[in-house]
Structure 1
Amino acid sequence: MTMNQLDAASLRKTWDREVHDFRTTCQGKSTTREWDLNRPDAKRQELPARLGDDDPRCGPASLQKFAGEDLTVGERTAAQMEQCKAWWDEQTAAKKQQKQQEQEEKFELGATIRGLDSLQCSLMSVEAAARAELARQITAANAELRQLQAAKRDAERQQELQAKLAELEAAKADPWLNEDPQQAASAMSPARVRKDHWKGMSAAQREAIAQEQLGQVLARRAAAAQAAAEEAAAAAEQHRVHKAVMQQAQAADDFRRKQAAAAAEVLRRQVEEKAARDAQIKETYANKVSDSYFKQFGTSHR
């Protein structure tokens, strides 16, 4: 394409654009002679058939005046719409406020539940510490009892050993058990021994044996009394430790029950308060329309 052709095409486009702009601005439909007949808003430009009760155009044959006609229906409808809109806005604001209040109550309830969870965790920690302390005390008491029992067994073994040694010494010193030849000496001759003779004892020997037996009985009684006293002391100590441990466990259980009861009371009171607020809000914003609202329509006429 040559330069002349390009210039001609450019001039043609410029001319077409100017013609279009001129037709758009200066040769619109509103400038034609038939515009009054063809304009789409012709009815809107005309006067209404009736401007009011004093309109001179409205004669008896115009059929524009009727008995009981309400000329303020438009204004009243607009006022009613405005009133309904105000009610709707008020209800929307109330619902928004109620929703916000419910959100705040949920947040407070969540905070309360988190506090209760924290309290429960602390109570569980206290209970675990109490149980650990109880286990430690029981372990210490058992160790002490084992030491007492071991000492008791050592003392019993020592007493038994002493008794056996004493029995051996008594057996060694007993002339009857040692077959003293003097006991079997014959009356006819000290050099003779009669096998059928009884090796009797003298009064002093019998008294010594009786004293020895009495000493053994007293020693056994003393050992039994000491063992009984040691067992009673061990039982009393074990009972004291068990009682102290049970008191600590009971105190922990009482504290936990009190905290659980207090938490349950708080939750119950919050539930009752929320139920009362919900019932009041439901009754306040029930949006019920009474009969007086409908009876007000069509009550006025000319």
Structure 2
Amino acid sequence: MGRASAGNTADSARLERILNAKQRLIGVDVEALNAQVEEKKQIKHVEQALQQHHAEASSCHLGMMTMNQLDAASLRKTWDREVQDFRATSQGKATTREWDLNRPDAKRQELPARLGDDDPRCGPASLQRFAGEDLTVGERTAAQREQCRAWWDEQTAAKVQQKQQEQEEKFELAATIRGLDSLQCSMMSDEAAARAELARQIAAGNAELRQLQAATRDAERQKELRAKLTELEAAKQDPWLNEDPQQAASAMSPARVRKDHWKGMSAAQRDAITQEQLGQVLARRAAAAQAAAEEAAAAAEQHSIHKAVMQQAQAAGDFRRKQAAAAAEVLRRQVEEKAARDAQVKETYSNKVSDSYYAQFGTSHR
């Protein structure tokens, strides 16, 4: 017994490893793994906070951009209206220097043959004075015609300007809506791609961590198994431990042994114990392999669920983009139909005044 104690205590590190059941069975630094898990959770929390911040910033920028576009459109309409008013009031043909040379009614501006009964140009022989004659009928008729023409031109210009303004507002609103829809679709696509990439990275990290843990456990198990098999083989080949147990047989009874000659169990008994221990080791390895397979199956199922959710989200995004494109197409067709209908109405109900209308002034139909 003294020699066995001395041989077993020679390798103190190996003896401590064998006697420490927790280290022999677990063999993994649980605190380090927990620290890694907590670190990944913190990284994920920071990424989520950054994504939320980016989403809020994008929404704020979108609102500011929309307000700036609306303000610019309003300023542009105001400027166009002022330019048109200035052209109508201050840049007419009558304000140019060459108006006297190119004036179509220059002859009408000349003095008539007589200005009145007391015109000094008309003498007694001119026969320009008659009783009951209305000398202002021409001027009055011309003034009436000019007044009617001015009213009609003013009304026509106001209607045309109003239609142009309405058409410009419709086009600007449609362009703003299309821009907003395009920006929203682009942001949703970028967000979906970022989420898919993040999920893929997390899944890859988890798979790598599982493989590392499985490899570590397998290495520890193989190391422990080799140590046990080495120890068992050494015990089998040790000459002192394999002494013949028949020396301890008692002459008084086959069931009794001599304590001063006891050398331990027989080889068959030791082999049976060894086989039983080996079966226990194999059973533990099979249970660990089954647990690893179940964990891998659960991870694969979770991955398939996440993939299905991402596919549904992508399909929903494609459907929204198709709806937006269809709405834009319908709006474009409506704008074209409205323009054609307005042109037809303008052509049909233009209510133009011809020269025959003006020619009937001062005439009689009786």
When the two structures are superposed, what TM-score results if normalisation uses the length of structure 2?
Answer: 0.38
State the 1:276 CA deviation: 6.4
Helix, strand or coil for the counterpart of 2:121?
coil
User: 1:184 touches 1:198 (CA, 8 Å); kept in 2?
Assistant: yes
Using the TM superposition, name which of 177-186 and 121-130 deviates more. 177-186
Question: In terms of Rg, which structure is larger?
Answer: 1
Corresponding residue number in structure 2 for 1:50: 114
Change in 2 beyond 3 A, CA 1:70/1:270: farther
State the 1:154 CA deviation: 3.2
Corresponding residue number in structure 1 for 2:90: 26
User: 1:184 touches 1:199 (CA, 8 Å); kept in 2?
Assistant: yes
Give, in whole Å, the separation in 1 of the partners of 2:289 and 2:331.
Answer: 62
Give, in whole Å, the separation in 1 of the partners of 2:234 and 2:148.
Answer: 125
Match status 1:207 vs 2:271: yes
Give, in whole Å, the separation in 2 of the partners of 1:239 and 1:2.
Answer: 40
State the 1:116 CA deviation: 1.1
User: 2:249 touches 2:256 (CA, 8 Å); kept in 1?
Assistant: yes
Instruction: Specify which of 307, 312, 318 is matched with residue 248 of structure 1.
Output: 312
Using the TM superposition, name which of 262-271 and 186-195 deviates more. 186-195
State the 1:222 CA deviation: 1.7
User: 1:171 touches 1:177 (CA, 8 Å); kept in 2?
Assistant: yes
Using the TM superposition, name which of 61-70 and 231-240 deviates more. 61-70
State the 1:227 CA deviation: 5.9
Change in 2 beyond 3 A, CA 1:35/1:207: closer
Q: Unmatched 5+ residue regions in structure 2?
A: 1-64
State the 1:165 CA deviation: 2.0
Deviations 1:233-273 (A, max 9, x none): 45436525633761574376258537735862783476267
Helix, strand or coil for the counterpart of 2:144?
helix
Give, in whole Å, the separation in 2 of the partners of 1:117 and 1:29.
Answer: 46
User: 2:214 touches 2:292 (CA, 8 Å); kept in 1?
Assistant: no
Give, in whole Å, the separation in 2 of the partners of 1:168 and 1:4.
Answer: 84
Percent of aligned pairs with the same residue?
A: 91
State the 1:231 CA deviation: 5.3
Give, in whole Å, the separation in 2 of the partners of 1:94 and 1:271.
Answer: 22
State the 1:70 CA deviation: 15
Give, in whole Å, the separation in 1 of the partners of 2:74 and 2:293.
Answer: 133
State the 1:216 CA deviation: 7.3
Give, in whole Å, the separation in 1 of the partners of 2:183 and 2:69.
Answer: 94
User: 2:122 touches 2:128 (CA, 8 Å); kept in 1?
Assistant: yes
State the 1:278 CA deviation: 2.4
Deviations 1:22-62 (A, max 9, x none): 99999999999999999999999999999999999999999
Deviations 1:2-21 (A, max 9, x none): 99999999999999999999
State the 1:123 CA deviation: 2.5
User: 2:189 touches 2:317 (CA, 8 Å); kept in 1?
Assistant: no
State the 1:78 CA deviation: 3.8
Corresponding residue number in structure 1 for 2:67: 3
User: 1:68 touches 1:301 (CA, 8 Å); kept in 2?
Assistant: no
Give, in whole Å, the separation in 2 of the partners of 1:3 and 1:126.
Answer: 23
Two-structure CA RMSD over aligned residues (Å): 21.5
Helix, strand or coil for the counterpart of 2:259?
coil
Corresponding residue number in structure 1 for 2:15: none
Helix, strand or coil for the counterpart of 1:152?
helix
User: 2:188 touches 2:317 (CA, 8 Å); kept in 1?
Assistant: no
Deviations 1:194-222 (A, max 9, x none): 99999999995798399559827953872
State the 1:288 CA deviation: 5.2
User: 1:36 touches 1:42 (CA, 8 Å); kept in 2?
Assistant: yes
Corresponding residue number in structure 2 for 1:158: 222
Change in 2 beyond 3 A, CA 1:132/1:31: closer
Give, in whole Å, the separation in 2 of the partners of 1:7 and 1:191.
Answer: 110
User: 2:248 touches 2:259 (CA, 8 Å); kept in 1?
Assistant: yes
Change in 2 beyond 3 A, CA 1:145/1:187: same
State the 1:127 CA deviation: 1.6
User: 2:249 touches 2:258 (CA, 8 Å); kept in 1?
Assistant: yes
User: 1:186 touches 1:192 (CA, 8 Å); kept in 2?
Assistant: yes
Corresponding residue number in structure 2 for 1:186: 250
User: 2:247 touches 2:262 (CA, 8 Å); kept in 1?
Assistant: yes
When the two structures are superposed, what TM-score results if normalisation uses the length of structure 1?
Answer: 0.43
Using the TM superposition, name which of 10-19 and 132-141 deviates more. 10-19
User: 1:50 touches 1:58 (CA, 8 Å); kept in 2?
Assistant: yes
Larger relative contact order (CA 8 Å, sep ≥ 6): 1
Give, in whole Å, the separation in 2 of the partners of 1:60 and 1:98.
Answer: 59
Give, in whole Å, the separation in 2 of the partners of 1:187 and 1:258.
Answer: 101
Give, in whole Å, the separation in 1 of the partners of 2:115 and 2:197.
Answer: 100
Helix, strand or coil for the counterpart of 1:2?
helix
Aligned residues: 302
Change in 2 beyond 3 A, CA 1:224/1:26: closer
State the 1:89 CA deviation: 1.1
Q: Unmatched 5+ residue regions in structure 1?
A: none
User: 2:141 touches 2:361 (CA, 8 Å); kept in 1?
Assistant: no
User: 1:137 touches 1:241 (CA, 8 Å); kept in 2?
Assistant: no
Helix, strand or coil for the counterpart of 2:261?
coil
Give, in whole Å, the separation in 1 of the partners of 2:83 and 2:266.
Answer: 172
